[in-house]
Amino acid sequence: MSRLIEKSAVELAKLVRDKEISATELVTDTLKRIEEVEPKVHSFLTVTNEHALARASEFDNSRDSSAVGLLGGVPYVLKDNMCTTGILTTSGSKILSNFFPPYNATVVDRLNAAGAILVGKANCDEFAMGSSTENSGFGPSRNPWNIDCVPGGSSGGSASAVGALQSPLALGSDTGGSIRQPAALCGIVGMKPTYGLVSRYGLIAYASSLDQIGPMTRTVSDTALLLNVIAGHDTFDSTSVNQAIPDYLLACKSDVKGLRIGIPKEYFGDGVDPEVSKAVRDAIELLVSMGAVAEECSLPATDYALASYYIIAPAEASSNLARFDGVKYGHRSTELSGHVGLTEKTRSEGFGNEVKQRIMIGTYALSAGYYDAYYKRAQQARTLIRRDFEQAFAKFDVIITPTSPTIAFKIGEKSDDPLAMKLADALTIPVNMAGLPAISIPCGFSSGLPIGLQLIGNYFDEQTILRAAYTYEQATNHHQQFATL
């Protein structure tokens, strides 16, 4: 195995900047690694070999050393629900199996401007609906720590790519935990930024009031570096917040003296594996030994989060996915029978079962006579969840919980149990409902599989959770352990 692929993005960017390695060397090494392990993990739906090598060559031949971007020459992977000009973008769905976008997502333009080089589009649950990547229309990805297990979802391909050393950087999207849960299961770092911090323009929407793009990396510093590139106001996204963006790398320092940690009792109850709970509590004790102060707290409205989410998210999906009708782009049924028949046939052929189910649930929840009973009440519960967090952050700087209630499960193990599958996101969904930032970092192993530690922060206070996460990371060696493939 090449030692180059084990290096962090911060290290690789410096090596390229100092001309100790070329972008072409780095990209060639990365593509070789992808070719070696991709048959085992199936992280990718598209590998952009020619595009990546051409970009690397152009970078090496034309760059002025004084004008190298923050990520000059560094490879990255995109979840396949983010638009890329002229590069196949499927969102894990057969209904978009022939879709080549005419424009880039804003995050892609920002990564390109920073000199980063796209090496592929990662597999994901169809339209980001799932917790295991088993709902992809193109087959599941696999966990690099045990290829019989799921990598999590919906950003499972991005997580497995980073965990399998196929790329130092990836972007995922997080609607109910889809960055943090697969990051936990694959032993990497994953951050969901505050809603509105990162532009959603060019992200194929699932639930617009919940979706957020974020970094997936192997180290906290790499997450901070990637966030530096993608964060910031975008006039193309009406929910993008116009405010100054700090240098998140400056937050990466070992210092938790006086940090006030809240430990919500609702996140350590039934359904959370005892070994997961122990690893998280051990992590909290380590932070306390370094000067932090921890205290148990309560977030009672957490009990409403899962049920409320599975009304609000499908309701928004039923609206967002109405655009896939076989008329403008994407799959079109060949069995034509008028406009209504065409749409019905196209959607029947193109959508998978999970997507169909969520569209039907959402349409029902929004229908006349049921709107107040379901959607309105779910939004009211969402307000209670947000208020719980606001009260907690009046007292605490960071709230710490497990990321996932369990370690990675076997492929197919929960396929016939939709409730068990949905409970996989029970500890991450409340963060999306409130719009808060949260990061997952590895904090141990159980049965040879990684355990994730979730640090939740106040609105637009990514610096505090990055500092706490970095302090813990540097006091342990979890980020220095790699899956063996």
Q: Please write the tens of the pLDDT for every residue from 87-115.
A: 999 999 999 999 999 999 999 999 999 99
CATH 3.90.1300.10 fits 4-261+396-480, yes or no: yes
Q: Tell me the C-alpha distance between 271 and 263, whole Å.
A: 17
Closest CA to 403 of 214, 273, 251: 273
Q: What average pLDDT score do residues 122-144 get?
A: 97
Asked whether the predicted pLDDT for residue 350 surpasses 80, the reply is yes
Asked whether the predicted pLDDT for residue 302 surpasses 90, the reply is yes
Output the CA–CA distances (angstroms, integers) from residue 287 to 258, 398, 465, in the order listed. Answer: 10, 12, 12
Q: Which two tokens stand for residue 32?
A: 């070789």
Output the CA–CA distances (angstroms, integers) from residue 293 to 290, 300, 314, 436, in the order listed. Answer: 9, 22, 39, 22
Q: Percentage of the chain with pLDDT > 70? A: 98
Determine the residue type at 199: S
List, for residues 462-484, the tens digit of each pLDDT value: 999 999 999 999 999 999 999 99
**Residues carrying an active site annotation:** 79, 154, 178
Q: Which two tokens stand for residue 279?
A: 């690893």
Q: What are phi and psi of 28, to 5 degrees?
A: -60, -45
Asked whether the predicted pLDDT for residue 295 surpasses 70, the reply is yes
Cis amide bond preceding 154, omega within 30: yes
Closest CA to 375 of 383, 366, 384: 366
Q: Give the strand pairing for 169-173 and 75-79.
A: parallel
Q: Which two tokens stand for residue 145?
A: 């720590």
Helix (H, G, I), strand (E, B) or coil at 334: coil
Helix (H) or strand (E) holding 109: helix 106-113
pLDDT confidence of residue 98: 95
Q: What average pLDDT score do residues 241-258 get?
A: 97
Mean pLDDT of the chain: 95
Strand locations in 48-168 (E): 75-79, 117-122
Name the DSSP class of 211: -
pLDDT confidence of residue 189: 98
Q: Tell me the C-alpha distance between 62 and 20, whole Å.
A: 17
Q: What average pLDDT score do residues 169-177 get?
A: 98
Residue appearing with tokens 């980073």: 162
- How remote is the C-alpha of 90 from its chain's centroid? 17
- How remote is the C-alpha of 335 from its chain's centroid? 37
Closest CA to 333 of 351, 317, 318: 351
Q: What average pLDDT score do residues 323-341 get?
A: 83
Q: Are 433 and 305 in contact (CB under 8 A)?
A: yes
Confidence of residue 233 (pLDDT cuts 50, 70, 90): very high
Q: Are 167 and 30 in contact (CB under 8 A)?
A: yes
pLDDT confidence of residue 2: 66
Q: Are 73 and 112 in contact (CB under 8 A)?
A: no
Q: Are 427 and 405 in contact (CB under 8 A)?
A: yes
Q: Percentage of the chain with pLDDT > 90? A: 89
pLDDT confidence of residue 40: 98
State the pTM of this model: 0.96
Asked whether the predicted pLDDT for residue 47 surpasses 90, the reply is yes
Q: Are 34 and 47 in contact (CB under 8 A)?
A: yes
pLDDT confidence of residue 421: 86
Q: Are 438 and 180 in contact (CB under 8 A)?
A: yes
